Amino acid sequence: MNFAPPPPAPSPLRTAWLMVALLLPVALLNYLDRQLVATMQKSIMGSVDDLKTQAQWGHLLAWFKWTYALASPFAGYVADRFGRRHVIALSLFVWSADTWATAHATSYDQLLATRAIMGLSEAFYIPAALALIADHHGTATRSRAVGLHQIGIYIGVMLGSLGGYVADDPALGWRWAFTGLGLLGVAYALPLWWWLRDTPRDAATPPARPDVAVGELLGNRDFRLLLLYFTLPALAGWVVRDWMPSVLQKDLGLTQGLAGVSAVVWWQGAAILSALGGGWLADRWMRRSPRGRQQVSALGMSLIVPALLGVGIVIGQGSLPLAIAFLVLFGLGWGLFDSNNMPILAQIARPDQRATGYGLMNLASISCGGLADVGFGWLRDHQVPLNLIFGGFAAVACLSAWLVLRIRATDADRA
């Protein structure tokens, strides 16, 4: 009796790229759900009676970041200990359900609660997703794979920039958008869990306890440098992402819809091209030097510095075209930076510590980003000139370029 041979198992490289493809829509929803709030500020404040001041709005943005930040190290450890697949799918389900609940919030306190829950649930996604990609992709393709995943994030932010138009449409409105996106994410969570695959783990070296894993990472001089490098540019990154639609609307007299598109689409589009090119460049540069990813990332900082200086100056002069030009320059730098953080971490931390390490990085970066949001709202209320604010961010980016070049990365993953 003849039996047909079993179908060949998919190649490791094919599986590795399939994981990236499955995670792309999740990354898109991860940032689309959070970005909508920034581009719908006018409509949300107009429909919630006890939400009145810019400082309140800054706290609303910050609550998301602080819960996200505080949960991130634990979220990373859970992904290292119990597997990336389960954590990713459950995270998507919970934050999507919370997105749906946001559409039904009627008070400032209810909005704060939904933003806190969203921060808590979304904290479990990025460390697990990037660690899963790093597990499947080796040194030759890792920056490209991470860069491709980050494109999902950028597209999510770009689509979120259209939120102002949706919110202004009488037939739709901001609540309609949150309802639809919440239901979409809930529907994708189960098939995502079914299709994702973790890599085999070495049973002889199980993940350490949380305190031991964190202690080993923080005792690593190169990880401390990466932690600081990852945090400092994010101060400007969060302010540009969260506040730029409001800044362009008020300082340049734009409509809510046009301000959202102008503040987001151009620089996120530039970041997409930069992440693709930066991932390819970093992978090739690694053939020549184990510091290739650091050097590409530092190149990104060299673009971010003049971009931040220019944005602060030209918005004060009332020029939208020049503001967009400098935002594009910012996006080019950001893509080079963003596509290489996990690959650099993979050079200095063991595989069973990658999600925990990225969780610690999120803790530092996003908690400081929340402070930046509150501080920027306070500075805006007190009429501090934009050129001074963004000049300070540019000085921080200069320091960041020096920090990343101080990391002593190896030419291969640590055993």
Q: SS3 string of 293-346?
A: HHHHHHHHHHHHHHHHHHHHHHHHCCCHHHHHHHHHHHHHHHHHHHCCHHHHHH
Q: What is the pLDDT of residue 201?
A: 65
What pLDDT is stored for residue 415 in this prediction?
Answer: 40
Is residue 95 within 8 Å of 118, Cβ to Cβ?
A: yes
**pTM score, whole prediction:** 0.78
- Residues 6 or more apart in contact with residue 48 via CB below 8 angstroms: 105, 106, 107, 108, 111
pLDDT for position 295? 92
Both structure tokens of 206: 């199980």
Asked if residue 223 lies in contact with residue 357, where contact means CB atoms within 8 angstroms, the answer is: yes
Beta strands in 29-155 (DSSP E): none
* Own/partner long-range contacts of 140-144 (Cβ < 8 Å, ≥24 apart): 140/283, 141/13, 141/16, 141/283, 142/283, 142/342, 142/343, 142/346, 143/278, 143/279, 143/280, 143/282, 143/283, 143/286, 143/293, 143/296, 143/339, 143/340, 143/343, 144/276, 144/279, 144/280, 144/283
10 Å CB burial of residue 329 (0-12, 13-18, 19+) is buried
- Token pair listed for 386: 């934009």
CA 73 to mean position of chain CA atoms: 16
What's residue 8's pLDDT?
46
Packing angle between helix 221-252 and helix 256-285, nearest 10 degrees? Answer: 150
- Cα 208–Cα 214–Cα 220 angle in degrees, nearest 5: 110
Which residue in 58, 56, 369 sits closest to 235, CA to CA?
A: 369
Q: Alpha carbon of 313 to those of 35, 254, 323, 334, 391: distances in Å? A: 25, 18, 9, 20, 9
| Helix or strand holding residue 65 (H, E) | helix 54-82
How many CA atoms lie less than 13 Å away from 259 in the CB half-sphere?
27
Q: HSE on the CB side for 186, CA within 13 Å?
A: 13
- What whole-number distance in Å separates Cα of residue 8 and Cα of residue 307? 50
Closest CA to 274 of 243, 251, 248, 297: 297
Q: What residues have CB less than 8 Å from 397, skipping those under 6 apart?
A: 232, 233, 236, 301, 304, 305, 308
**Widest Cα–Cα separation across the chain:** 85
pLDDT, residue 205, reads 53
In the chain, where the domains are located: 14-198+206-404
pLDDT per residue as tens, the chain (415 positions): 444 444 444 567 788 899 999 999 999 999 887 778 777 777 787 677 777 677 777 777 778 878 888 898 888 888 888 888 999 999 999 999 999 998 888 888 888 888 889 989 998 999 899 989 988 988 778 888 988 898 888 888 888 777 777 777 777 877 888 888 899 999 999 999 999 988 876 444 556 566 677 888 989 999 999 999 999 988 888 888 878 888 888 888 888 778 877 888 888 889 989 988 888 888 888 888 888 889 999 999 999 999 999 998 998 888 899 999 999 999 999 999 988 998 999 888 888 888 889 889 988 888 887 788 778 888 888 888 888 989 998 999 999 989 999 998 775 444 4
Burial of 142 (C-beta count, 10 Å sphere; 0-12/13-18/19+): buried
According to CATH, what is the number of the domain 14-198+206-404?
A: 1.20.1250.20
Identity of the residue numbered 346: A
